[in-house]
Structure formats: C-alpha cells, structure tokens
Structure 1
Amino acid sequence: MAVMFVPVSHLLAEPSLRLTALVTGPRTETDRISWVSTTELPDPLPFLRGGELVMTTGLLERTDAQWRDLIVRLARRPIAALCFGTGLVHPRVPDVVVDAAADAALTLIESPADVPFGQISRWVADQIFARHYEAVHAAVRIQDGMVRELLAGGGLRGLLRRLHAQLDAGTVAVLEPDGRLVAKHPAASRWSGHPGPAPENGEGPVELPIMLGDIPVALLRTERATRHTGLVSFAANLFGLEFARQQAVRTGRREMLGQVIEDIVLRARSEPDARRSLALHGVTADSRYRVVVAQPATGRDRLRHAPWTLDQPFASETDPMPVALVRDSVVVLLPGDRDPQPVTAGLLRRLSRIDPEVGIGVSEARAGVAGLRVGYHEGCHAARSGPGVHHAAPLSPTGLVLANLELPMADVGRAVLEPLLAHDADHGGDLIRTLRSYLEHDCQSAPTIKALIVHRNTLRYRLQLIERLTGKDLNRFKDRMELWFALAAIDLEPPEVHSAST
C-alpha cells in the first residue's frame, strides 16, 4: 500500500482548526503531510523523515541564529510545514521565525492556543486513515474487477487490458524469463523489450516474476514507474493462477493423447479403436504426420505442471497441433506439409530452460496408425543422438528393433557378449574389437586381417576363442546374426557404461 498524504491546502481550509498561513511556500498546493510531529527538542531533525507537519510552541529559548539554522534545516529535510502554536509561550509567532521561514520558502502556520495540537493531530490522522480506507476499498474493487475479467472469459489478454487501464504506467507486458515478449497491451504499442537504465531517483518500470509454485515461468513488466506496485503484484499472482489452470487443462489433454500413442506403439489397441481415439484428439490417421520427440532429462512434474509453451495461454487453451506427453517425453504430431524448423526451434528454446542438453528427434512424414508407430520409434532414435534437433533417417527393421525401448536389447546383448567382455577386461584382449571387425567385413579373413593389422594365425586363434567362450558357431548365419545384434545392442548404452564394463 502506498503512503497516504494530506495536502497542506486541505489542512488550512479546515474551518474547525482556525489555522492561519503566515508564510506559504512555493508548493503549498502540492506539499503533502505524511504525519504529525510535536516537538520542543533542541534538535528534532534526527527524528524526522520528511513530509511531517512539525508543531511547536517555541518553549525552548533560542537565539535568532538558532531559529534561522533550525528553519533552514527543516526546509532542507524537507518537512511539509511548520505549525507554531501561540498564546502559551509566545503571544505571536516571533518575527525571526516568520522571516527565516520566508527566506527558506518553508510554509509557516499559526495555531491559536484554544486549538490544541492534539486536535490537529487527530484531524490529520483521521484524514490519512480515510484515505487509506478509500485506497483499500478502491484496490479491492479493482482486484475484484480483475478476477471477474478472468471468470467472464476475458482471459489473460483481458487481464492485461484491465491492468493497463488502472496503472497509468504505459504498456504492460508479459515476457518469457529470457525477456522475449509474449503479450502486451495496448497490442499496437511499441515495446523495445529492454527496461533501460534505472532513473537516478530509483523509480522505474515495475518487473515482477509470475510464479507457478516455486518456479518462475514469466515476467510481468510495466513500461514506466507506478505507485500501484501492490496491484501489479496481485496481477502477477492472478497470471500464475490462470497459467496453472490452463496448464492443467492442456496437461490432461496431452496425457490422454499420450496414452493413445503409447497404446499404438505397444499394439495395445486395435487399428479401428486407435483411429477413433486419434480422431477425438484432432488426428486424422490417414493424413501424413512427422513425429517430433523431445526427451528432456527432467522429472514428470516439471513437464506436466510448468507451461513450457508459454505463448499458448494467450491464444487458446488448446495446442495449435497435437501435443502428447508419453512417459517423460514430449511428442508433437506435425502435419507432413508443415515446415518442422519453426516448431522444433521453439520447442528446443523452451525445453532448453529445463534441460540445456535436451535432444529432439524428427521422423519422416508417414500416414496411418503404423506410420505413427514407426515415426515414434524414428523420433526416439534420433532424439538420442545428442543435444539439439536431429532428423531421423528411415529405420531399418534392425534399427526399429533396437530403438524399441520396451525390449531390453542392451541387457540381452551384454548377456550374450559377457564372456568376451570379461576376457578383454581380465587379459587386455581385443575379442570384442576382433568380432566387430570380422562381422563388418562380411566374415572375410583378408580384409579383417588388414583392418586389425594382425597375423592370419592370430585372427584364427581369436575367432576360435570367441566361439569357445560364447558357444556360437561363426560359420552359422543364425549365430552370426545373434552376435551382430548383441554388438549393436550394447552400442545403445551410454559411453561411460560401455567403457566402464569393457
């Protein structure tokens, strides 16, 4: 709540106090009394903060020089006015006080003896209290109007519009945490996006965080200074509540679509049922879609409760295209005729705030339920390529099996190759490298010997040892395929896991 004041002119105009202005400063109409201080101290300045109506009877004897020094210092504070009570100590205000006040341009008021200082103090206190009450009542009306704006369907843009009308602080805007403009009012106003240097008086644009729980998700900023900071704070809280409400609506919708996609991937729905469920979410199964998969390393709560698509609440509670939450991944079904770059760039920018190393994979455009299934695996496979956006090459049948997160391929691969991994670890051997090279060279000895730079007998010994340790016959196609799958599967492990085990 802002500090309340009583104009000096209102005090002088109150007939019951019978006050007389002996000297009027140049700002009598705008000088404001913040409180009243009655003092007979030799030096009252340490107890004054400025803006007070200082009242004295002149009880303490002072020389002319002392009076002049005191009045000059009071004017520099500055106080609102000096009220001199007459009829008790001094029959009238001393001339030196009048002259010093005139020289210092300090408003000097005479109070008769039959008007106690307590009566003046009560009148000022009543006025300040009345103004406080009026301000509180007005703030409640304004806040009630802002709440009603949201409840009536005005949305967040309506809230911005109403806040702008109440503040007289120029454009009001909502920004992303990095300063990027999300929405502003008036919509046609110019917005530089930069608050600029702070004024010398310390007053400047108001900027407050918009919070969801303990997560700052946006900023509410005014173009110019305002004394209604409490109203801006209230609006920031309303924005946070509305963001949370809209996020809950979107999250529920995204999770329902996510369940449909997960069922499709796991083949837990028949194709007709899958088509009907997709249609309920605005997805036409016969249309071509790219499947965009983002896999941030964050908890479920952060994706579900914080608006990582902050611009959405200012347009609609629905996503502009189908968005799903599948486990801890964000999945976007992007129509095949749309350019994926703007979508993936925006998704990367927002999700990078919760995981700077987030990977995003983009599949080929395909139609049909089976196309979504393949596209999902392509997107997942590409997303694991590292930070940033990666476009997937079409998966081979082998790549599709290896990309299937439901299959414990890496664990199975390690189980098959464990004897070779253990032998290499214990003896500093190269059985894994030899097997990999031999299979990559189509099980031909000559190119394998050349690649490994080993003797023919050395290669023959290693291959015999591999067969003995694994129980596989490298002359059988089936055993070769199992060993090749096992090598490809352990490549799915993070490098530090694989290097630690080998």
Structure 2
Amino acid sequence: MSPTTPPAPTLRALLSRGDLALRLSSDGARDLTQPIRWVHSSDLADPTPFLAEEMVLLTTGTQFSGDDDAQYDAYVRRLAVRGVVALGFGTEVVRDGIPDPLAAACAAHGVPLFEVPYRTPFIAVARAVAEAIAAEAYARRTWALSAQRAVSLAALRRDGLGAAVSELSRQLGAWTGLYDSAGAPVRASGDLAGPVAQVVRREAETLLARGASAAGVVHADGTTVVLQTLGPGGSLRGVLAVAADALDEEARGVVTTVVAMTGFALEQNEALAAARGTLRAGVVRALLTGDAALAGGIADAAWGGFPREPVMVAVTDASPDALGAFLELRAGREHGSFFYGRDPEGGTAMVVSAASGTTFDELPARFGLRVGVSEPGPLAAFPTALEEARIARDRGDGVSRFGAVAAAGVLNALSSDAAAVARTVLAPLTRHDEAHGTSLVETLRAWLLHDARFDDAAQALGVHRHTVRTRVRLAERLLDRDLGSFAARAEIWVALLAVR
C-alpha cells in the first residue's frame, strides 16, 4: 500500500460513525482492526454457506429459541471458523437487548459483538461500509493515476531510467531495483542487506536464463521481493525488483507501467548500444591502422578521451555483444579511463591506464572467459599491444599477462599447430617404440638435453654409452636426418618440446 492511501474500512471506523449509534458490547472481543469486505444480514441458524471471510453479519436473533445456551456457542463457533469479522445484533426488534449467552459466546470465540439500535436500519450499516469501500477504491485509483503520472514525468528527466525506478520506490514506499540482461544491478533506490541482495540477484539470473517472460518472488532475511522480467520472451532486457510483501491491483498497475516503460527504454538503449558498438569498432580499426588523430578525436567527443598513457591493452575471446551491459556500465563508471571495442578477430579489446591498477579478474569469474593483457606502452603502439594481448590470452586460462608469457621463453609460446607438425616429424620414432618396445624418443630427448654428449646421456638413462650411440644412429635413419648438425638437432629438440 502507498503511504498516501487511506486504510481499508474496519470495525473501528464503522463504530466511530456517530450517525449509526452503534455500540460495542462490553463483553465482546476488542480486535477491531480487521478490514471489512462487506456487510450481510441473516437470521438463519447457519448462514455460513452464504458468507465470505472478512464480512460483518447482522441479525435480529429470531433463529434463537428457548433457553438452550449451547445454541449460541455453536452459532458463534461457526461464524468464527468461517472468518466473520464481527456480529451486529439488532435490538428492540425481537429482543430488548443482546442475550447474555450470545455475548459470552462471542467473547469466548473472539468475535466482536456490537448493538444496532432499532432506529438504525441494517441497510444504513451496509451502506456505510459500501461507501467506505467505494471511497477507498476511488482513493486507490486516484493514487494509481497520480503515481503513473509521476513515474512518467520522472522518465522524461535526463537519467530517465534511474529516475523512473526511484520514483516507483517513492510511490510504493518500498525498495526497487533494476537488473540488466546479464543479471547485474543497474539501478536501485537504496541498499539491500547483503544476503538479501545475493538471493535477489541469483533469482534475477535464474529468470533471465529461462528466456521467457516470467515473475518470481523470493523471501530472504525477513524481506519479500517481487521480480518481473522486462522485454519479450526470447529477448529479455532485464529484471525489475520490488521489495513488498503484497501488491494490490492498483500497485500492480503502476509496476506494470514501469515494466513497460523500462523495457522500452532498455530496448532503445540496446539499439543505441549497437550504434555505439559500431563506432567503437571503427576506433579500434583506426588505432590498428595508425590513425591516432581520428581515433582520439572520436574518443574525446564520445567517451571523454582515451586512458592516460602508458596504457595496457586487454583482449577476451568474447565479443562486445556478449558483454555489452557489463562493459557499458564499466565505461560509464570509469569515464575517460576505460575504453573497449570489437577486436577485428571477433573478441573484445579493452584499453586501460597502466597506472590505474585495473584488473580483469571479474571477467573470467563471471563469464568464464580467457583474458590476455599486454605490456604497458604508448597508445601509438596499440597494434603491437593488441597482438601481445592475443598471445597472452591464448596461452592460459583466466587472466594471462604477456610479460609472464615472454618470461617463460619463446619455445613455450609454440602453438597447437606446431605440436601437430611435431607429432608428424617424430612419428617414425614413436611408431618404432610402440612396435618394438624401444625408447628412441626418451633416449633422443636425454641426449639432446645433455648437449649431444653420449656419456652424460647414458648416465642419465642408466644404460651403456654404446647403447645411446646405437639408438641415436637408429633415430637418424628413421628420421632421415643427420643429427650431427646443430640445425637438425635444434629442429628435433623443438619438436620434442612441442609434443610435450
């Protein structure tokens, strides 16, 4: 309920109407705060089949006969089980006052009992409740229209999306949050407790993973949060979350308005993001072709310029389309100190200042990507830095830095293609070892590792030096290479490293 909405009609409000002259029985229960849905009158011995919960029942007592007090207790018990809010007894029609056994039964079962004097017709009591219900409904509709108007006006502000979400929170008197298509929080009217925030984010990610328009409810740490996906099924734009135990029809209508507006705004944002992505890809191409003036002019006008030199270039194996919301949020948060664009090879290239201390650990952790990072250098060396980042990315999992790859040596940078060629080169040896149970590959590796010295290799292998010599000569014949030359030995050594 909105803080500005009047409370629902209650027995307390009904009894406060001086024109009705209703009087609460001194022996009746005093819980007068339950809402009243309607008023019904009946003198049936068992009217419960015709009643609903949260109703007030009016009676003149003609159903009671004789001095059997048990009939009163059974009657009131049935009303209490049915969920009747209160019982009104019309006096001076059949009886001068309220029967004492009826008052005792109402007190025993917690059903408020009040007297309706002869001058007050039952229809007047029913009309008073109906008017209160109508007034409440009118107030709710008026509030809903006012809330929708306030949200619509907020959406026209510069930060329309955030303003609309904040205004929705103000109108509902509840926390609201917006999550992007990857399940990351984009806007929020305040902070949620840590455990609650984690549960809500996981539920948002679950709803988005299903790919269909859906709603969800989570309960965590005493907080209830309602979630609704944004956008059409198969192309979800995000999730709107509202911390509220229950939303009535009018409040749901206001939320639906925000859902429609937010979905449309996010769709527009994605169209703009596609245009920005094309522009960013053009800047990357300009940097690769050495047109730093063009790239710098665009960056200055659109994103506050490039990061301060020296810069590092990072590259992932996922395109900006897959990371768009995350990267755009980061670029907005680090305006002028973070740039990204499409790598011509299909990945995402990013530029940060080497002095910023920026890490890329979140990308592997969140998206399961490999990230390569170049050595620091001037922006003019972007082509070289991008190639370094690609090499580092392809050499490991998580975040790999080119400096560490280079420190490991040139031979450790051999590609999978080199390994395939190496297996072909060494195939005669491996086939011979498998067919005859020899150790030509192992012997050749030990011999080369000991600088082609037969004695040292024999000692390492635990065999006679003549055995090593014989195996090496056999390997030469199988490989059709003279291993007496440095070039031939170097080629076989690289092949041995590559297959490892």
TM-score range, shorter chain: 0.5 to 0.7
Give the secondary structure class of the aligned counterpart of 1:366. coil
**1:152-171 to 2 correspondence within 5 Å?**
152-169=157-174
Residue of structure 2 aligned with 1:456, choices 444, 462, 465:
465
2:383 counterpart of 1:373: yes
Q: Distance in 2 between matches of 1:474 and 1:259?
A: 52
**Residue of structure 1 equivalent to 2:223:** 205
Cα–Cα, structure 1 residues 97 and 324, in superposed 2: closer, same or farther, change >3 Å?
Answer: farther
Q: Residue 203 of structure 1 contacts residue 225 of structure 1 at CA under 8 Å; is this kept in 2?
A: no
Q: Kindly provide the amino acid, as one letter, of the partner of residue 194 in structure 2.
A: G
Q: 1:498 — aligned with what?
A: none
1:21 aligns with 2:26: no
Q: 2:457 and 2:374 mapped to 1: Cα distance?
A: 35
Task: Report the number of matched residues.
Answer: 459
Q: Does the CA-based 8 Å contact 2:60-2:91 persist in structure 1? A: yes
TM-score (normalizing by structure 1): 0.66
The aligned counterpart of 2:55 is: 52
CA distance in 2, matches of 1:275, 1:462: 63
Compute the displacement of 1:408 (Å): 4.2
Shifted more, 47-56 versus 394-403: the winner is 394-403
Match of 1:110 in 2: 116
2:468 and 2:316 mapped to 1: Cα distance?
Answer: 44
Query: Structure 2 matches for 1:101-140, cutoff 5 A?
Result: 103=107, 106-108=112-114, 110=116, 124=129, 128=133, 131-132=136-137, 134-136=139-141, 138-140=143-145
Is the Cα–Cα contact under 8 Å of residues 392 and 401 in structure 2 kept in the other structure?
yes
Does structure 2 retain, via aligned residues, the 8 Å contact 1:312–1:319?
no
Q: What are structure 1's unaligned runs of at least 5 residues?
A: 492-502
Q: Classify 1:50/1:328 alpha carbon distance in 2 versus 1 (closer, same or farther; 3 Å).
A: farther
Matched with 2:373 is 362
Match of 1:303 in 2: 322
Q: Hey, what's the Cα distance between the residues in 1 that align with 2:422 and 2:105?
A: 95
Q: 1:52, CA displacement in angstroms?
A: 1.6
CA deviations on 1:279-305 (whole Å, 9 max, x unpaired) are 534676994221233457xxx698246
SS in 1 for 2:194: coil
1:8 positional shift: 4.0
Shift of 1:318: 6.3
Query: What residue is the counterpart of 2:37 in the other structure?
Result: 34
Q: Indicate the SS of the match to 1:6.
A: coil
Structure 1 counterpart SS, 2:350: strand
Question: 1:361 & 1:57 partners in 2: Cα distance?
Answer: 86
Question: Do the aligned partners of 2:20 and 2:120 also contact (CA within 8 Å) in 1?
Answer: no
From 96, 101, 126, the counterpart of 2:100 = 96
Match of 1:353 among 356, 366, 371: 366
On the 8 A contact 1:5/1:128 being kept in 2, the answer is yes
The one-letter amino acid paired with 1:337 is A
Letter of the structure 1 residue corresponding to residue 465 of structure 2: R
1:96 maps to amino acid = D
Residue in 2 that maps onto 1:80: 85
Query: What's the CA shift for 1:352?
Result: 1.7
Q: CA deviation at 1:67?
A: 1.9
For normalisation by structure 2, the TM-score amounts to 0.67
Contact 1:35 1:124 in 2 (8 A): yes
Once the 2 structures are TM-superposed, how far is the Cα of residue 33 of structure 1 from its aligned partner? 0.7
Distance, in Å, in 2 between the alignment partners of 1:241 and 1:463 is 74
Identity in percent: 25
Contact 1:168/1:226 (<8 A) preserved: no
The residue type equivalent to 1:344 in the other structure is: F
In the alignment, what sits opposite 1:332?
A: 350
Residue 271 in 1 paired to residue 290 in 2?
yes
Q: Write out per-residue CA displacement over residues 60-84 of structure 1, whole angstroms, 9 at most, x where no aligned residue.
A: 3353343245447756876433234
SS of the aligned residue for 1:459 comes to: helix
TM-superposed CA distance for 1:321, in Å, is 0.2
Which sections of structure 2, spanning at least 5 residues, go unmatched? Answer: 198-218
1:418-465: CA deviation from partner (whole Å, max 9, x where unpaired) = 444555555565444445445544444444444444443443344444
| Deviating more after overlay: 473-482 vs 108-117 | 108-117
Distance 1:191 1:57, change over 3 A: same
